[in-house]
A and B are shown apart, each in its own frame.
Chain A
Amino acid sequence: MRTVVHALIALVLVLAVVLPSSGQAGPLRIAIHRDEGSLNPYTYQSGYPGWNIMTLVYEPLFTPDADNIPQPWLVRRYTVSPDGRTWTFTLHSNLKWHDGRPFTADDVKFTYEYVRKHAHSRWTPQVRAIESIDTSGPTGLILRLGAPSSGFAAQPLADLPILPRHIWENVAEPRRFNDMIGSGPYRVAEIREGQFYRLVANEAYFAGRPKVREIILPIIRDATVTFTALKAGEIDTTSRALSPEVVGEFEKVAGIKVARGAGYASTILQFNYEHPLLKDVRLRQAIANTINTRLMVRLLLLGYGVVGSPGYIHPDSPFYNPAVTFTASKTKAVQLLNEAGYVDRNRDGIRDAPDGTPLRFTLLTLAGNPIRIRAADLIRTWLRDLGIDANVVAQEDASIIAQVWPDFDTCKGRRFDMAVFGWSAPVMNRTTSLRDLFHSDCRFGTINIGGYKNPEIDRLGADLAVSAQPERQKQILFEMQRIIAAEVPIHVLFYQDGTYAYRAERHNAWVYQKGQGILNKLSFINPPKP
């Protein structure tokens, strides 16, 4: 008996030494870089990680899987009518709100109607396609659409989080409402504005017990401080991607692993299509031909990235058209310029247009982003080589937007020449992204900041929006990529990979969601069984 006791004591002592004191028992600390409001659907701030954290608390009917394909989550089974207009769902029967009240189809109906009434930039447009919503019993739901919608499963189904009717039906000013009763695997336990959020696992979650019991999300504004805190063990991971130059360093730190995957955020050279010179496709092609994107990936991203596809779509996306390729050639660039009559007429080293206007442009770029500044500087050097003068101007975000995308409204025009710009990952995930990026009507081309116009693209874009069949969508998107590659309204420079460092002994079940990162619901809970 005594030996058993001694052995037990020895074991405890050994374990106490071996296991770090802050082992699995303590909360998981994930630094985020900005305040995310009260984390309810009307107050969260950023797409990543804000939306991802918010959906741990408030859940959409579907959830994107690791490949970013929407899969039913709160829904046990569903059918779509052959014309693509009637969607019939059966919800899981054991869904509950955090306050214990049952989650029913009635809450879904309420939410879809609520966001229609109370404008939300993200969700109000998504529910526009819905003509009628009916429930049958607590778990049956039927949505009828006016026309088939290409991205309906992604948005709103896998995007719009459901609100509890019994709480929100009396809320007239959602943006000032700070209640946090959701249905998700985590409950909001504490918010210290400007300091941290504390989430605790919802032990009664219908799909099982979440993998981490408590999550603390400290807000650290500064990138260097974030990574220092990670190295010092004060945080376990962060929503910030490692910058390329420190990836190698972090891979060598004991206990830290780096998750790497495709990044869907793009860095592009944006042309102003309304500029009297840049509206000439030959000039845009010539400029694209001077830019060595392969070298950019090696030099600026140290290889942690993918060379831009000429049709915008990332090679890892299921909609990528591999037949559309582009290889820059300086000879080609010179040939294009000479043929189009852009030659140096006054011997000042800068080429001039046939009417004598010198090829001098301003190249805008974001002051806070060193990679974009260096990309702009490389472009300036290469263009100078060719006899084109690009003056790099780095400004803060709001100033750039004011020139490139006044009021975030493409209907309000633009006043710039060229800009090193970029779009976040969700733009790649939208089925209609190529229409949004290039449709000439500003109501559809909501992010067509260059003012590109092409009737063929407009027609394909309109067709795309109402195509519910993935095969048909693919066909249209392939054609659109071909046209964009030939017309160069933008020139895609690269997509930076996502590289996220984490302390493996604190949590090792991270799921890298393609194009985005490791901070998502799949890292904390396994999908429910149907």
Chain B
Amino acid sequence: MWRFFAGRGAQYLLVIVLTVMLNFALPRMMPGSPLVFLAGEDVGFLSPEQRHQLYALYGLDQPQWRQFLTYAANLARGQLGYSFQRGRPIAHMIGERLPYTLLLVGTALILATLAGALLGALAAWRRGSALDLGSLGVVMLFESVPSFWLAMIFIAVFAAGLGWFPVFGAGTAGVALAGWPLLVDRARHIALPLATLTIITIPGIYLIMRYSMLAVLGELYIATARAKGVSERAVLRRHAVRNALLPVATVFMLNLGFIVSGATIVETVFSYPGIGRLLYEAVLNRDYPVIQGTFFIITVSVIAANILCDLLYPLIDPRVRQR
């Protein structure tokens, strides 16, 4: 047992070290330089000395290996550094965005998992029925729809057209609200991005659940249950769904780790201030420290989700326990 955990721990540590190195290398391998974003639009009028002074200010004049050592040393002390562009501590920037992203992507994941699993189970249970074929068709359609397109349609129909929801943002800008009005305002703003994200997340879960359910329904213990006279509903709920849920649970737990990474496209289209948009803008601006910091947080949470999965899986699947 302890050996198992020590082994896993070493693995995770290795993954973290490798990702830290990759996080450092990848942004720097992109073409382009952060200079224009450090210097603003007048970058063209800089003299060579000023250019050098700017690079020195951000440590970019150092050789790459030294920059890496500085970065790694800071990281070891728990410091993510400062944004090139904003001059603010990255931990603060991520901290501000995190609640928005957790709320949006977390809720979407839960809703999509519930809806996808339910729909997938029913479709498999009534295989070949209108429900099965109809839902499969709709799900395939949404599977292939790009999220920005769906987002645009939602904005055009429900925001601009019907006026039910606001077009952009996470709240009405610059209006001080509290209590119920605040909650309603937030809810109205999150509705469309949440709907978009949920709808594009459902297909993956639906398909896994449907196929898992079909496999389970072909098992002998289902036939046995039916043979000994268990009611159809009990077969469905106690024998089939519970077993078929295992792969969905795994996917759900792994997805938990990615909640932190946000939903770049949806957040950008709706101007929602989440981590995905922070990362996207940092990439556009070649803001190396923010890219590194955000990727690092994502890596850590994905690994945390994996550990959680390792720990929880034996609880939901007794077969693993016996090994």
Which residue numbers of A lie inside 8 Å of B, CB to CB?
A: 27, 29, 34-35, 37-38, 42-47, 50, 119, 121-122, 124-125, 173, 175-178, 190, 192-196, 198, 214, 216, 218-222, 224-225, 228-229, 231-232, 234, 397-399, 401-402, 405, 407-409, 411, 424, 426, 436, 443, 446-447
Tell me the total A-B contact number using a CB cutoff of 8 A.
162
Report the minimum CB–CB distance from B318 to chain A (whole Å).
46
CB contacts (< 8 Å) of A119 on chain B: these are 50, 53-54, 57
Q: Assess the B40–A216 pair: CB atoms within 8 A.
A: no
Q: Assess the A447–B174 pair: CB atoms within 8 A.
A: no
Partner of A37, one of B87, B96, B170, B281: B87
- A446–B31 Cα distance when bound, in Å, is 21
Question: Known contacts A176-B82, A225-B271, A234-B168; can you find 11 more A-B pairs with CB under 8 A?
Answer: A121-B39, A175-B57, A176-B88, A195-B170, A195-B171, A198-B173, A214-B174, A220-B168, A221-B269, A234-B166, A407-B51
Q: Assess the A408–B46 pair: CB atoms within 8 A.
A: yes
CB contacts (< 8 Å) of B39 on chain A: these are 121, 408
A395: nearest chain-B partner, CB-CB: B31
Q: Assess the A122–B271 pair: CB atoms within 8 A.
A: no
Q: Assess the A224–B152 pair: CB atoms within 8 A.
A: yes
CB contacts (< 8 Å) of B35 on chain A: these are 407-408
- A38–B83 Cα distance when bound, in Å, is 13
Chain B residues 134-192 with CB under 8 Å of chain A are 152, 155-156, 159-160, 163, 166-171, 173-174
Partner of B54, one of A121, A122, A196, A401: A121
CB contacts (< 8 Å) of B211 on chain A: these are none
Q: Decide: A218 near B31, CB < 8 A? Known: A45-B40, A121-B40, A231-B160.
A: no
Report the minimum CB–CB distance from B68 to chain A (whole Å).
21
Q: Assess the B50–A121 pair: CB atoms within 8 A.
A: yes
Taking each of B30, B51, B87, which has the highest tally of chain A beta carbons within 10 Å of its own beta carbon? B87
Q: Assess the A228–B167 pair: CB atoms within 8 A.
A: yes
- A200–B14 Cα distance when bound, in Å, is 52
B2 at the interface (CB under 8 A from A): no
B86 at the interface (CB under 8 A from A): yes
Q: Assess the A121–B45 pair: CB atoms within 8 A.
A: yes
B48 at the interface (CB under 8 A from A): yes
Report the minimum CB–CB distance from A109 to chain B (whole Å).
22
CB contacts (< 8 Å) of B210 on chain A: these are none
Q: Decide: A218 near B45, CB < 8 A? Known: A224-B152, A228-B155, A231-B160.
A: no
- A426–B42 Cα distance when bound, in Å, is 9
Report the minimum CB–CB distance from B45 to chain A (whole Å).
5
- A228–B46 Cα distance when bound, in Å, is 39
- 22 A–B pairs (Cβ distance < 8 Å), ordered by A: A35-B281, A37-B86, A37-B87, A38-B87, A50-B40, A119-B57, A121-B42, A122-B45, A175-B57, A176-B87, A177-B87, A195-B271, A196-B173, A196-B174, A198-B174, A220-B168, A232-B167, A407-B33, A408-B36, A443-B47, A446-B44, A446-B45
Q: Assess the A399–B31 pair: CB atoms within 8 A.
A: yes
- A194–B40 Cα distance when bound, in Å, is 18
Q: Decide: A402 near B268, CB < 8 A? Known: A121-B50, A443-B48.
A: no
Q: Assess the A232–B174 pair: CB atoms within 8 A.
A: no
Q: Assess the A228–B160 pair: CB atoms within 8 A.
A: yes
B269: nearest chain-A partner, CB-CB: A222
- A405–B171 Cα distance when bound, in Å, is 41
Q: Assess the A125–B50 pair: CB atoms within 8 A.
A: yes
Q: Assess the B273–A192 pair: CB atoms within 8 A.
A: yes
- A198–B172 Cα distance when bound, in Å, is 12
B239 at the interface (CB under 8 A from A): no
Q: Assess the A408–B44 pair: CB atoms within 8 A.
A: yes
- A43–B48 Cα distance when bound, in Å, is 21
Q: Assess the B41–A424 pair: CB atoms within 8 A.
A: yes
Interface string of B30-72 (1 = CB under 8 A from A): 1111011111111111111011011001000000000000000
CB contacts (< 8 Å) of B32 on chain A: these are 397-399, 401-402
CB contacts (< 8 Å) of B166 on chain A: these are 234
A231: nearest chain-B partner, CB-CB: B160
Q: Assess the B42–A122 pair: CB atoms within 8 A.
A: yes
Q: Assess the A47–B269 pair: CB atoms within 8 A.
A: no
Q: Assess the B48–A411 pair: CB atoms within 8 A.
A: yes
Q: Assess the B86–A43 pair: CB atoms within 8 A.
A: yes
CB contacts (< 8 Å) of A176 on chain B: these are 82, 87-88
Q: Decide: A190 near B152, CB < 8 A? Known: A176-B82, A232-B159, A402-B32.
A: no
CB contacts (< 8 Å) of B42 on chain A: these are 47, 121-122, 426
Q: Assess the B269–A225 pair: CB atoms within 8 A.
A: yes
Report the minimum CB–CB distance from A158 to chain B (whole Å).
15
Q: Assess the A228–B159 pair: CB atoms within 8 A.
A: yes
Taking each of A34, A178, A221, which has the highest tally of chain B beta carbons within 10 Å of its own beta carbon? A221
- A176–B281 Cα distance when bound, in Å, is 19
- A42–B40 Cα distance when bound, in Å, is 9
Q: Assess the A43–B169 pair: CB atoms within 8 A.
A: no
Partner of A220, one of B87, B93, B170, B271: B271
Q: Assess the B43–A408 pair: CB atoms within 8 A.
A: yes
CB contacts (< 8 Å) of B152 on chain A: these are 224
Report the minimum CB–CB distance from B250 to chain A (whole Å).
33
CB contacts (< 8 Å) of A35 on chain B: these are 85-86, 281
Report the minimum CB–CB distance from B168 to chain A (whole Å).
5
Instruction: Pick the 6 closest A-B CB pairs, nearest first.
Output: A398-B32, A121-B39, A194-B273, A176-B87, A196-B173, A216-B174
B270 at the interface (CB under 8 A from A): yes
Q: Assess the B269–A37 pair: CB atoms within 8 A.
A: no
- A47–B160 Cα distance when bound, in Å, is 31
Report the minimum CB–CB distance from A255 to chain B (whole Å).
15
